[in-house]
Amino acid sequence: MKDFPSCFGENGVQVAEAASSSETTITTTTTTTTRIAQNLVTCVYQCKMRDSSYVIITLTWTKNLMGQSLSVEINDSNNQCLCKLDIKPWLFSKRRGFRNLEVGSKLIDIHWDLTYAKFSSSPEPVTGFYFAIAMNRELILILGDMEKEVHKKIDASSLAPNAVFVSKRAHLFGKKAYSTQAQFCGKGQIHDILIECDMMGMNDDSYLLIRIDGNPVMQVKCLRWKFRGNYTILVDGLPVEVYWDVHSWLFEKLTGNAVFLFKTCLSAEKMWANEDQSWSSKDGRSQALGFSLVLCVWKNE
């Protein structure tokens, strides 16, 4: 538990200057996320290219008084930033758009359409949308349930991107129950996660209960003495390590936040075997991918 993350801190997201666009120049913006900005979800994807190289794409979906916004960051395999850009809330008034970026020898095309997008309590769209990225006419990422529309918009030589959902971080607010969704393996099933926590006056009746798709998979009693810990559950036949830290709730008058981490321990070979693919690093050594879900949970009193 020594290295357990403390969620996002006071400055969760900062968007720096973006690469120049062939259509227009994207200006520099900075977004500061505080505890009040509860509607924020960050998703990280690792996308394989045809030449066996890969890029890391980080998407941060935010909802505030100005409306929906999306921050996009693309890094190469050496963790060098290729570009950062903000799709500002006012751009979402049209709910669809595209950007053509030129970064060195790379041409990056980004298309999105949220005209009919449906949202749950999260700023991340659920259905009725698409978001896609192509690099040098190779489609590397597609999100949403409108894949046919993407193929009409992007003239890409590759129509089947190889992308792994690496991690998701989100803020959750509630009183005793907190829900979200996660996809623990590649393009596997999307699961509903429900965390129930009752302090019960800080006596020995306090408990923590986690359900996956409505089924209880983990229960911790006497939280006053077990406010931090870890436990292994099975999801889709895969071991998922669950870490929890509710110390702030118990000993800081409920003003702090609890942190939960769900992490799979899956090698790249097994990850891509589930996708009917094979993927190893340039030097032939396996890359530990897996999936991690970090939840920063706040109590509404």
Q: Is there a domain that residue 11 lies in? A: no
pLDDT of residue 159: 64
Contact of 58 with 52, CB cutoff 8 Å: no
Residue 75 has pLDDT above 90, yes or no: yes
pLDDT of residue 202: 56
State the maximum Cα–Cα separation within the chain, in Å, rounded to a whole number: 63
Residues 229 and 210 in one domain: yes
Residues 123 and 55 in one domain: yes
* Chosen domain end from 97, 125, 160: 160
Residues 155 and 224 in one domain: no
pLDDT of residue 120: 77
263 or 50: which leads in pLDDT:
263
Contact of 1 with 19, CB cutoff 8 Å: no
Residues 224 and 287 in one domain: yes
Q: Which of 34-43, 115-124, 292-301 is predicted least confidently?
A: 34-43
Residues 176 and 154 in one domain: no
pLDDT of residue 91: 59
> pLDDT, tens digit, for every residue of 87-123?
876 656 668 888 888 888 889 999 998 888 888 778 8
Residues 147 and 181 in one domain: no
pTM, two decimals, is 0.75
Residue 228 has pLDDT above 80, yes or no: yes
User: pLDDT over 70 for what percent of the chain?
Assistant: 72
Residue 7 has pLDDT above 50, yes or no: no
Residues 99 and 184 in one domain: no
Where in the sequence is the domain holding 204, given as residue range(s)?
Answer: 171-299
Residue 287 has pLDDT above 60, yes or no: no
pLDDT of residue 163: 86
Residue 98 vs residues 14, 46, 93, 114, 123: alpha-carbon distances, Å:
22, 21, 14, 12, 20
> pLDDT, tens digit, for every residue of 155-187?
766 667 788 888 999 988 888 888 888 888 766
Residue 204 has pLDDT above 80, yes or no: no
pLDDT of residue 199: 73
Q: Is there a domain that residue 139 lies in? A: yes
CA 280 from chain centre, in angstroms, equals 23
Q: Is there a domain that residue 13 lies in? A: no
Number of other residues whose CB lies within 10 A of the CB of residue 180? 23
Residues 60 and 137 in one domain: yes
* Chosen domain end from 99, 128, 160: 160
User: pLDDT over 90 for what percent of the chain?
Assistant: 27
Residues 154 and 222 in one domain: no
Average pLDDT over residues 217-230: 89
Q: Is there a domain that residue 179 lies in? A: yes
225 or 301: which leads in pLDDT:
225
Tally of structural domains, the chain: 2
pLDDT of residue 280: 36
Question: Measured between alpha carbons, how far is 165 from 145 in angstroms, rounded to an integer?
Answer: 16
Residues 195 and 102 in one domain: no
* Chosen domain end from 160, 184, 217: 160
Q: Is there a domain that residue 21 lies in? A: no
